[in-house]
């Protein structure tokens, strides 16, 4: 059982305040259909960061950032030489995202440290609330850039060289973000961390179906992403016969069909998605000269993920016809399992608070993937309505959000006091 002073922390989580902050943060990038378009390093995210800093400073947290654009809010510990505990997630969104994906993890982390302050106790280790830069990868691909740079999984120079679809570079936008926060001290990338815990909506239906409030995340399935570029030749739609056409769209469609057939599995475990498809010149009377499409491949078994992914270049080449094709792999993250010690703490916190829980794997990628290789890491899931996410109708309940924050608060305080 938890110590009495620890158990009292969860009682200081304010469900109304936490919900109100979700609704207020959702105004930055709000869409007409009730969702959020707050893509990485956008003006909307700059404004949302400013609000977070204000909330944190109001309760005595010290704000800082790093060269990758990650944002930190620190609650000081009694032993400042100890490595801190990090809790948080991200506040960037998909173009048609919801109010809770990522934002819940950051706001639950902020609520956790505010509950600790309200309880009148201080942890041995500092606790940092963190908002990682570009988890989603919707504007700059691939995602999880901030956490990858922080942990050394990717070189910052490589990340800074990435551009969005409009040709705007990460380097330019990070400079803009940091210029908007001139008073914040700059931290080094990759400082020692005692532990990291990320709270998140499940983005799936299991908790809701099972009637559980908290998911203790066992690990994250593996993921490989690719960018496929098909090159043909522009021609007149009315005068060019089929025999001379090099139609990039026809070739791309053939590749998509061949890929779908190759990735189909009876057990429905493979997750294969083509989520982006760009046609050039995209004019009604012009034979398409170029198509670029994305591939997102996921599987919980490392060998299967490797074998399926390795087949993709050959499948595309065989279906290319008279067009040229270039297949470039952007990301290969193997499956992982979070350590028992962190999962046990999350389970114990939920049980002690009388909150129903279950073990659950994550089908989606999260910043916790990269932190897993840097420090002991865990995740807490809460339900989202109908399992819907990356959608403007994404929804979670006030009670579930508060329950997740209570479990996070107790878990974080326990980790911050651990030897």
pLDDT at 7 over 80: no
> What pLDDT, on a 0 to 100 scale, did the predictor assign at position 333?
87
Share of the chain above pLDDT 90, in %: 96
Half-sphere exposure in the Cβ direction for 82 (13 Å, CA): 21
Report the residue count for the chain: 419
Encode pLDDT of 233-249 as tens digits: 999 999 999 999 999 99
The structure tokens listed for 145 are 């850039």
Check residue 379 and report its DSSP letter. Answer: E
Query: Does residue 6 carry a pLDDT above 70?
Result: no
Peptide bond into 383 cis (omega under 30): no
Contacts for 68 with CB less than 8 Å, ≥ 6 apart: 133, 145, 146, 149, 150, 156, 159, 174, 189
- Report strand pairing: 85-90 vs 336-337: unpaired
- pLDDT band at residue 331 using 50, 70 and 90 as cut-offs: confident
- CA–CA separation, 50 vs 31, rounded Å? 20
Average pLDDT, the chain: 96
Q: What is the pLDDT of residues 339-350, one digit of tens each?
A: 999 999 999 999
Q: What is the mean pLDDT of residues 366-387?
A: 97
Measured distance CA(316)–CA(226) in Å, rounded:
12
Per-residue pLDDT for 53 more than 80?
Answer: yes
Torsion sign across C-alpha atoms 45, 47, 53, 59: negative
What is the crossing angle of helices 398-416 and 103-119, to 10°? Answer: 60
Q: How confident is the model at residue 2 (pLDDT cuts 50, 70, 90)?
A: very low
The DSSP output letter for 84 is P
Q: Which helix (H) or strand (E) holds 250?
A: helix 248-263
Residue 267, number of CB atoms within 10 A of its CB? 5
Six-digit token string for 406: 């209570």
Q: pLDDT of 257-277, one tens digit each?
A: 999 999 999 999 999 999 999
Q: Please report which confidence band the pLDDT of residue 3 belongs to, taking 50, 70 and 90 as the band edges.
A: very low
Place of tokens 């032993």: 79
Q: Is it the case that residue 317 has pLDDT exceeding 60?
A: yes
Coil/strand/helix, residue 290: strand
Q: How confident is the model at residue 413 (pLDDT cuts 50, 70, 90)?
A: very high
CA pair distance 35, 176, nearest whole angstrom: 25
* Confidence label for 108 from pLDDT (cuts 50, 70 and 90): very high
The neighbouring-strand residues paired with 233 are none
Record the tokens describing residue 113, joined without a space: 């440290």
For 230, the enclosing helix (H) or strand (E) is strand 222-231
pLDDT category at 5 given cuts 50, 70, 90 is: very low
d(CA 292, CA 256): 12
Q: Backbone dihedral region of 309: left (phi > 0), alpha (psi from -120 to 50 degrees) or beta?
A: alpha
- Alpha helix locations (H) across 11-102? 15-25, 43-58
- Overall average pLDDT of the 311-325 stretch: 98
Strand locations in 304-390, DSSP E?
324-333, 336-337, 357-362, 377-382
What is the pLDDT, as a whole number, of residue 419? 86
141-173 residue pLDDT tens: 889 999 999 999 999 999 999 999 999 999 999
Tell me the average pLDDT across 63-86. 98
Q: Which two tokens stand for residue 398?
A: 């006030």
Return the percent helix, strand and coil in the chain, to nearest 5: 35, 25, 40
Give, rounded to a whole angstrom, the gap between the first and last alpha carbons of the chain: 17
Tens-place pLDDT, residues 286-300? 999 999 999 999 999
């Amino acid at each position: 059982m938890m110590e009495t002073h620890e158990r009292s922390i969860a009682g200081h989580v304010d469900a109304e305040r936490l919900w109100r902050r979700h609704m207020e943060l959702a105004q930055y990038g709000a869409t007409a259909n009730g969702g959020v378009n707050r893509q990485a390093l956008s003006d909307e995210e700059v404004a949302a960061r400013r609000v977070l800093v204000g909330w944190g400073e109001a309760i005595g947290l010290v704000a800082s950032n790093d060269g990758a654009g990650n944002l930190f809010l620190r609650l000081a510990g009694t032993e400042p030489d100890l490595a801190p505990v990090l809790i948080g997630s991200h506040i960037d969104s998909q173009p048609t995202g919801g109010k809770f994906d990522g934002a819940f993890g950051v706001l639950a982390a902020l609520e956790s440290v505010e509950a600790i302050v309200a309880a009148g106790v201080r942890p041995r280790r500092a606790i940092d609330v963190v908002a990682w830069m570009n988890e989603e990868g919707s504007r700059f691909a691939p995602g999880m850039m901030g956490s990858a740079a922080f942990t050394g999984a990717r070189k910052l120079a490589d990340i800074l060289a990435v551009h969005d679809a409009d040709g705007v570079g990460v380097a330019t936008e990070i400079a803009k973000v940091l210029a908007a926060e001139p008073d914040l001290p700059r931290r080094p990338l990759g400082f020692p961390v005692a532990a990291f815990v990320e709270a998140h909506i499940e983005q799936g239906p299991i908790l809701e179906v099972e009637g559980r409030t908290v998911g203790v995340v066992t690990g994250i399935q593996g993921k490989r992403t690719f960018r496929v570029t098909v090159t043909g030749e522009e021609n007149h739609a009315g005068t060019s016969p089929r025999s001379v056409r090099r139609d990039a769209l026809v070739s791309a469609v053939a590749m998509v069909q061949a890929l779908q057939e190759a990735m189909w599995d009876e057990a429905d475990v493979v997750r294969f998605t083509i989520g982006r498809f760009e046609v050039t010149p995209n004019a009604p009377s012009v034979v398409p000269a170029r198509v670029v499409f994305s591939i997102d491949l996921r599987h919980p078994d490392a060998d299967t993920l490797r074998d399926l992914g390795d087949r993709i270049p050959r499948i595309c080449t065989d279906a290319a016809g008279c067009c040229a094709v270039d297949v470039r792999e952007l990301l290969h993250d193997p499956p992982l399992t979070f350590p028992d010690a962190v999962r046990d703490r999350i389970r114990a916190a939920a049980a002690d608070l009388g909150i129903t829980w279950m073990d659950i794997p994550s089908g989606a990628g999260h910043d916790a993937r990269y932190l897993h290789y840097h420090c002991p890491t865990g995740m807490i899931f809460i339900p989202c309505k109908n399992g819907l996410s990356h959608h403007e109708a994404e929804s979670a309940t006030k009670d579930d959000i508060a329950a997740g924050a209570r479990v996070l608060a107790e878990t974080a305080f326990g980790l911050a006091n651990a030897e």
